[in-house]
A and B are shown apart, each in its own frame.
Chain A
């Protein structure tokens, strides 16, 4: 029976090609617009470390100037998302969490030792600690993270991203080879596999959707090199400090380091926060931390939310395109009304020769579903096109944001069929209500 309805639906759609085209086109355009904006938003809000994101926390301390608040957020006092050198190293030495890591920044010239000096390029580095890699589930192609003792001694060892290894060593296994970073010889101990967590939650908002930094070195090695603060990150200071002198920065109240911890379960959060607050009280007793204490720890999702990584523009765009889809669907609905109205005589005839209302409803539902499926498929193609254009327009963002996964492809089709069916309900209802006797005098 269903086959019969589909056959009728195809014949009917073929009979009025322009009308059918308009119906399918409006749905396709609406679906495409909605899915383009939704895809970008969906990819932006994915869980960057699945299975772990409720156990990873960043630590924010109330170490700021007793006289002035750090900043206002939504009208309320807020504390820094960065940590001072002294606090980061104190907490790191305590090792109270399962794992903890310090994340810093630096930029300098870099090349492979075997390359001529002219090949050196300005490179953005990620000084951190060895736990970084296991905390964030970073996959390795060659080698492994450096060791805890490399961290404590500040040994000149480096982990390269797959891309950086491609640039420096043409993708070969480069373990044991040497690179020159800011004039210091570093030995390669690991090369990462493809690794693009989106959003890049562990750092500042501006880096969330850009290429990750491809060179990792032990935090202590960057300190021992006595590299002063470079211009590729943020430093906020109060009190006395000489920026040019790293020793002065280390002893200052300047905040510039990210601090992340991994707990064995989300439930340990309270305990860890209590520990942080105890630490703050100890510091207060020594004369620091004189402001009202607002120390906090935020898990991955909370930090992403706090950091407004997902711009409100994106959410507005979704609302705009959803409203746009509704306009398209209303348009399609009125076209359906016209279409089914034109079929009044056929409905009357079918009713006369014994089709029930249900039979008629099925017939038109099949037609609606075909329109929905066609609209969905074409909408999907348009969305791919739209995403490619978006990827060009947003060239500074990661291209992975503009790719649909299978889930989204299915969602597109379902949304199309569902929404066109929903908006088809009323036209179908109306078609079923046609009196069998009313249209028999003319066809």
Chain B
């Protein structure tokens, strides 16, 4: 630490060189902190829990033909046949599919006559055992029984048969104690339904929707010319299961099938732009760390070249190699720390600009710490080689005049 004073003195004397490095570190720090924060936010967004057994589920859309009753008969005939397959654990029909970007939403109210609505929520309706098949976890109340299932050509919301909602929606409706929602009447647009159960997680059809965690489950299997089927596989081979299901489905003449994909694929395509942004941010963070290292490395290396004679003199006067390395590491640490301190101020300013221009969330202060660690680590790593080089300068440099 006795080196600290001469280091600070020489930094003040040198001014521009260290100042530039310091500025560079500050700017890098600013970008880094904001980028790392956005990176982790994206990470959270992409890896949000869906509540579904994604890797065991696939779905497709198929056409139904003929008169309404024929359509209905054909749908349930096929469903029964699919359920009896060895490679299928269960099969249900649903009006819309998570991540598929197609679905139905309702305005949610607790008071029918309220002017505004509390929130909007996506609406899933289908076979009575849809929740179990999807892998949803019931955490309060009860789910649907076979006796709840109705098979209609519309949603049948005018018949009160109860709904199951996601916990996120329950918390939105009753912020103080979400369990209160059980047994309460909720209005979906105009239609009154009683909440009979709550599931832990359920993701909506639109990944980008702000309300994607607010979802309602209902037990009307709706029949129309195009229906969605969701299959939970039995055993290891999803491919085998898909083949078996398609064999049954395609026995019907005129039948057309669309999509046919694993829910994991649907998730990947729903989030691909976020994933892409995530990769870009990752590249930015890595690039920044590299540039900082390059800057510190270049700066230190040439500072040492410039000071060969001075270092030689120190060595001649009895400084050990360790002392020389220590001197440069310390000098670098001082610049880094001042740079980071300045960077913190800039980062907060930049973050405020981002918040006001792009409606981003404020960076939690822990990220300032993460950024400091990355920059300080990269900077220190980069100065090691030049410092060791400096230490190997021979004391005889001191006496060499030209």
Is B one of A's binding partners? yes
Residues of A within 8 A of B (CB): 18-19, 22, 25-26, 29-30, 33, 37, 67-68, 107, 109, 120, 122, 206, 228, 230-232, 242-244, 311-313, 315-317, 319-321, 323-324, 326-328, 330-331, 333-335, 337-339, 341-342, 390, 393-397, 426, 430, 442
Contact status A330-B27, CB under 8 Å: yes
> B295: which A residues are within 8 A, CB to CB?
26, 327, 330-331, 334
Contact status A311-B273, CB under 8 Å: yes
* Interface members, chain B 27-43 (any A CB < 8 Å): 27-28, 30-31, 34-35, 38
* Interface members, chain B 93-114 (any A CB < 8 Å): 101-102, 107
Q: A312-B359, A330-B23 are in contact. List 14 more A-B contacts (CB 8 A).
A: A18-B301, A26-B291, A29-B290, A230-B226, A320-B35, A323-B350, A324-B284, A328-B291, A331-B294, A334-B295, A337-B16, A390-B280, A393-B279, A442-B402
B318 at the interface (CB under 8 A from A): no
In Å, the complex CA distance between A318 and B193 comes to 48
Contact status B154-A122, CB under 8 Å: no
Give the distance to chain A from B102, nearest Cβ to Cβ, in Å.
5
Contact status B27-A323, CB under 8 Å: yes
In Å, the complex CA distance between A319 and B38 comes to 13
In Å, the complex CA distance between A228 and B153 comes to 14
B272 at the interface (CB under 8 A from A): yes
In Å, the complex CA distance between A393 and B283 comes to 12
In Å, the complex CA distance between A206 and B277 comes to 16
Q: Contact check: which of A29, A311, A327, A341 meets B31 at CB < 8 Å?
A: A327
Give the distance to chain B from A200, nearest Cβ to Cβ, in Å.
16
Contact status B256-A120, CB under 8 Å: yes
> B117: which A residues are within 8 A, CB to CB?
68
**Interface-side segment among B73-81, B232-240, B302-310:** B302-310
In Å, the complex CA distance between A398 and B299 comes to 42
Give the distance to chain A from B43, nearest Cβ to Cβ, in Å.
14
> A26: which B residues are within 8 A, CB to CB?
291, 294-295
Give the distance to chain B from A172, nearest Cβ to Cβ, in Å.
26
* Interface members, chain B 1-32 (any A CB < 8 Å): 16-17, 20-21, 23-24, 27-28, 30-31
Q: Contact check: which of A18, A206, A242 meets B101 at CB < 8 Å?
A: A206
In Å, the complex CA distance between A317 and B302 comes to 33
> B225: which A residues are within 8 A, CB to CB?
228, 244
Contact status B305-A342, CB under 8 Å: yes
> A331: which B residues are within 8 A, CB to CB?
20, 24, 291, 294-295, 298
Contact status A244-B153, CB under 8 Å: yes
Contact status A231-B358, CB under 8 Å: no
Contact status A395-B272, CB under 8 Å: yes
Give the distance to chain A from B265, nearest Cβ to Cβ, in Å.
13
A-B pairs, 6 with minimum CB distance: A334-B20, A331-B295, A330-B24, A338-B302, A122-B258, A323-B31
B141 at the interface (CB under 8 A from A): no
B61 at the interface (CB under 8 A from A): yes
Residue of B16, B20, B269, B401 with most chain A CB atoms under a 10 A cut-off: B20
In Å, the complex CA distance between A333 and B295 comes to 10
List 11 A-B residue pairs with CB atoms under 8 Å apart, sorted by A's residue number: A26-B295, A68-B107, A232-B102, A312-B358, A316-B38, A316-B360, A324-B31, A327-B28, A333-B20, A334-B20, A334-B21
> B294: which A residues are within 8 A, CB to CB?
22, 25-26, 331
Contact status B306-A29, CB under 8 Å: no
Determine chain B's interface SS by DSSP, over half rule: helix
In Å, the complex CA distance between A229 and B339 comes to 60
Contact A396-B284, Cβ < 8 Å, known A109-B256, A316-B354, A338-B302: no
In Å, the complex CA distance between A26 and B302 comes to 16
Contact A321-B302, Cβ < 8 Å, known A122-B258, A228-B225, A244-B224: no
In Å, the complex CA distance between A303 and B273 comes to 22
In Å, the complex CA distance between A19 and B269 comes to 45
Residue of B276, B279, B358 with most chain A CB atoms under a 10 A cut-off: B276
Q: Contact check: which of B34, B277, B298, B358 meets A338 at CB < 8 Å?
A: B298
Specify the chain B residue showing the minimal Cβ separation from A334.
B20
Give the distance to chain A from B389, nearest Cβ to Cβ, in Å.
12
> A242: which B residues are within 8 A, CB to CB?
154
In Å, the complex CA distance between A324 and B298 comes to 18
Q: Contact check: which of B17, B284, B303, B350 meets A321 at CB < 8 Å?
A: B284
Specify the chain B residue showing the minimal Cβ separation from A67.
B115
Q: Contact check: which of B24, B272, B354, B358 meets A396 at CB < 8 Å?
A: B272
Give the distance to chain B from A411, nearest Cβ to Cβ, in Å.
21
Specify the chain A residue showing the minimal Cβ separation from B223.
A244
In Å, the complex CA distance between A320 and B31 comes to 6
In Å, the complex CA distance between A244 and B303 comes to 77
> A333: which B residues are within 8 A, CB to CB?
20
> A33: which B residues are within 8 A, CB to CB?
284, 287
> B298: which A residues are within 8 A, CB to CB?
19, 22, 331, 334-335, 338
Contact status A393-B280, CB under 8 Å: yes
> A206: which B residues are within 8 A, CB to CB?
101
Give the distance to chain B from A320, nearest Cβ to Cβ, in Å.
6
Contact A317-B280, Cβ < 8 Å, known A120-B256, A244-B153, A244-B225: yes
Specify the chain B residue showing the minimal Cβ separation from A120.
B256
B66 at the interface (CB under 8 A from A): no
Give the distance to chain A from B238, nearest Cβ to Cβ, in Å.
21
Contact status B302-A335, CB under 8 Å: yes
Per-residue interface assignment for chain B, residues 354 to 366, with 1 indicating a CB less than 8 Å from any chain A CB and 0 otherwise: 1000111000000
Specify the chain A residue showing the minimal Cβ separation from B101.
A206
Contact A231-B61, Cβ < 8 Å, known A25-B294, A320-B31, A334-B20: yes
Specify the chain B residue showing the minimal Cβ separation from A443.
B402
In Å, the complex CA distance between A25 and B290 comes to 11
B186 at the interface (CB under 8 A from A): no
Q: Contact check: which of A244, A319, A327, A338 meets B291 at CB < 8 Å?
A: A327
Residue of A33, A109, A319, A334 with most chain B CB atoms under a 10 A cut-off: A334
> B258: which A residues are within 8 A, CB to CB?
107, 122
B198 at the interface (CB under 8 A from A): no
Give the distance to chain A from B103, nearest Cβ to Cβ, in Å.
9
Give the distance to chain B from A245, nearest Cβ to Cβ, in Å.
10
In Å, the complex CA distance between A395 and B295 comes to 34
In Å, the complex CA distance between A338 and B18 comes to 11
In Å, the complex CA distance between A316 and B355 comes to 11
Give the distance to chain A from B146, nearest Cβ to Cβ, in Å.
25
In Å, the complex CA distance between A209 and B302 comes to 48
